[in-house]
Amino acid sequence: MKKLLTFFATTALTVTAPLSVIACKKDSNKNNPGDYDFETNKNDFINLVTTIFNANFSKYMEQIRFIYENESPFDNKLNVDYLKNNNNEINSGKGTAFEFVKTEISKVIKWSDVLVEINKNVVQNINYKNLIIPGENPLVSGFQIDNLIISGESSEISIIDINFSSTITFQGKNGDKEFHDISYKSQINLISSFDIAGELNEISDNVKNLLSEKELANSFIVESNKGNASSISKDIISSNGEVFKSVNKTLNSVTIANPDFKIDFGEMGLSFNSNNLAIGSTKYSNLWNAWTSGQSGSDFQIKFRDEIKKFNLGEDADLEFLVDALTTNESNQIATRTESQNVKSKVELFSNMSVQINLFNVEENLMSNYTFKTQLDNSSPNFEFNVLKDSRLISLFGIDITDLKIKYKNDSLELADNFIAVRQLTEEKDTMTLYKKFIKDVLFYQAYIINQGPGSEIDSYTKRVFNRPSYWKNNVHINQILDFADYSEDLWDAANEDAKKIKEYWEFTNYFIGQGNTSGSFFAQTMFIDERGNFWLSHIADGSAFKIGVSVQNMLFSTFLFSNGVKDRNITSAGFGMQWTNDQIKFGSDINMKVI
């Protein structure tokens, strides 16, 4: 029986402008679920439009966050006294005063520029062709100011809190017109004193300039081998974390000569948007057969096959040979290497850098991420990669500094959000050591989870047994199509303790993938258990494959280092997969598992 061991190789990213964490060019063939996922693409489309909307409104509003009334872009009538005298009417959201202030603020927004940027980066992006209504910009509806709230106790300042909104218009899956509302909040502080306005702007500029200084902008670091973005980001933004403490210490060093002003750190926080992430792996390209049936294949392939079988049977295997074959930077008969030539040539300059995980992949992914790259350029222009200092870099996180305020008398005035880049370095001495450690552990994990490997007592390589989740015994409905994502964690949690310890350390991501004759990777989306206890997985979201006569696809059990490395059904993460062609995978209670 033909058995395949497959390794996930990577290739360069196409530089486009979708708002995915890893921006990969997508085939628009709707008939191939491995290449096209409407909901994922729609979410990226909405995120990108929202990001462009927010970035432009932030740019326009930050110019007038602290503005002296005699230098404001507004009509002379709109001053501190006018706002204080008419605050009740303005706050009600109706009336002449409300409409007047709304009209004046709207003049600051260069809406035509927003539409031009949307057209360039969204409408003309082939990834979103199926979402664009022909001849129509997604923000064709324009923008609105929904409400204005006037406040401020000091006589010199009137605070205007503003909520802008717009509606994204696009073509739905069935061709119908669909809508998605977006909004942006900001604050204007109109000031009657030239000196007060000057001091507030100086404080704001000092904070921004300090965070963007070259040394500081490149100083934020966390060390971890984990590829789980959610876990790492929580450590970064935690008020007990080193990054938070460093930011707090830095901002406390801002000197303010006038005792009437004070930076308020009471509500300061760090936040992470998953779009602002660049991982150290690039796009999966294809699969390579590790062995063929019988004794065919090269001596290298036969040795690999024999050693992996001995390893899974708990016999004395050449583990070092297996790890080296899977982690070498050179392509071989086990693993392909299809990274960009740019990455390959740069990695060759380092003796212990993995072509699978490295700073040059991070750099490529950042360049392909329009959202992250734009925000980093605007907020931290002095950030830069350093090939020597970043040799252990495996991911880059974009982090927002939020809710900083300036206290003036009894008023609390909002500072603009700031943005920093945080490097994730491996705990190992280099990324090759990291990758070898990961692959070695995953070899053990993938053996343990099917109750094979060192210490097992099985007598046949084909006896692969998953532990049946106890939750499934009573709660998984028979003869019903279910979302596999809702139940997959149960399967991993049911593994034996040896497997669970490895997963807990790395916090990696598992997938079942079916491989067909067409290009693309068919990720399991739906599951089905029939009355005989047979367990089925399908890559088709509506479960239409669950019917008599559908051929069984090959099952690939895959483990990925980076949780964000599987995006839009494109594999963009260093990983490892074992595939068993048409073999039954059993549960401990003899429930059959198949993938279609």
CA dihedral 457, 461, 462, 466 (to 10 degrees): 50
- Model pLDDT, residue 211: 94
Q: Binning pLDDT at 50, 70 and 90, where does residue 364 land?
A: very high
pLDDT tens, residue by residue, 160-175: 999 999 999 999 988 9
Give me the mean pLDDT over the 74-99 stretch: 97
Q: Tokens 């942006």 belong to which residue?
A: 184
- Model pLDDT, residue 12: 23
Say whether pLDDT at 292 is over 60.
no
How many residues does the structure list for the chain? Answer: 596
Query: What's the rounded Cα separation, in Å, for the pair 362 and 565?
Result: 12
Give me the mean pLDDT over the 481-508 stretch: 91
Mean pLDDT across the chain:
83
Give me the mean pLDDT over the 435-448 stretch: 94
- Model pLDDT, residue 288: 40
Mean pLDDT is highest, among 38-42, 459-463, 567-571, for: 38-42
pLDDT tens, residue by residue, 196-210: 999 999 999 999 999
Which stretch of 217-221, 273-277, 566-570 has the lowest confidence by average pLDDT?
A: 566-570
Say whether pLDDT at 548 is over 70.
no
The radius of gyration computed from the CA coordinates of the chain, to the nearest angstrom, equals 28
Give me the mean pLDDT over the 103-126 stretch: 96
Question: How far is it between the farthest Cα atoms of the chain?
Answer: 90
Higher model confidence: residue 505 or residue 11?
505
Contact 382, 212 (CB under 8 A): yes
Q: Binning pLDDT at 50, 70 and 90, where does residue 513 land?
A: confident
- Would you state the structure tokens that stand for residue 255, as one six-digit string? 């000197």
- Model pLDDT, residue 23: 24
Cβ atoms within 10 Å, residue 553: 22
Q: Binning pLDDT at 50, 70 and 90, where does residue 39 land?
A: confident
Indicate the angle between helix axes 370-379 and 38-62, nearest 10 degrees: 20
Higher model confidence: residue 92 or residue 514?
92
DSSP symbols for 23-79: -------TT-TTT--HHHHHHHHHHHHHHHHHHHHHHHHHTTSEEEGGGSSS-TT-S
Say whether pLDDT at 534 is over 50.
yes
Contact 25, 568 (CB under 8 A): no
Say whether pLDDT at 153 is over 70.
yes
Say whether pLDDT at 322 is over 50.
yes
Query: What's the rounded Cα separation, in Å, for the pair 432 and 436?
Result: 6
Residue 177 CA, distance from chain mean position: 28
Percentage of the chain lying above the pLDDT 90 cut: 58
Q: Binning pLDDT at 50, 70 and 90, where does residue 104 land?
A: very high
> Residue 184's closest CA among 166, 198, 169?
166
Which stretch of 24-28, 130-134, 578-582 has the lowest confidence by average pLDDT?
A: 24-28
Give me the mean pLDDT over the 469-473 stretch: 78
- Model pLDDT, residue 16: 24
Strand order in the sheet with 143-151: 66-68, 177-191, 157-171, 143-151
Query: What's the rounded Cα separation, in Å, for the pair 69 and 192?
Result: 6
Give me the mean pLDDT over the 370-383 stretch: 92
- Model pLDDT, residue 455: 85
- Model pLDDT, residue 457: 76
Beta bridge partners of 147: 163
Higher model confidence: residue 459 or residue 425?
425
Q: Is 461 exposed, middle or buried (0-12, 13-18, 19+ CB in 10 A)?
A: middle
Q: Which of helix, strand or coil describes residue 395?
A: strand
- Model pLDDT, residue 169: 97
- Model pLDDT, residue 478: 79
> Residue 160's closest CA among 222, 227, 258, 72?
72
Higher model confidence: residue 8 or residue 107?
107
Q: Binning pLDDT at 50, 70 and 90, where does residue 21 land?
A: very low
Contact 269, 399 (CB under 8 A): no
- Model pLDDT, residue 506: 95
- Model pLDDT, residue 293: 43
Query: What's the rounded Cα separation, in Å, for the pair 241 and 236?
Result: 6
Give me the mean pLDDT over the 376-396 stretch: 95
> Residue 190's closest CA among 312, 65, 275?
65
Higher model confidence: residue 28 or residue 565?
565
Does the global pTM surpass 0.75? yes
- Would you state the structure tokens that stand for residue 560, as one six-digit string? 């990925």
Mean pLDDT is highest, among 395-399, 466-470, 569-573, for: 395-399
Phi/psi for 242 (5° steps) reads -70, -35
What's the Cα-to-Cα distance from 140 to each of 18, 42, 424, 562, rounded to whole Å?
20, 18, 40, 38
- Model pLDDT, residue 545: 63
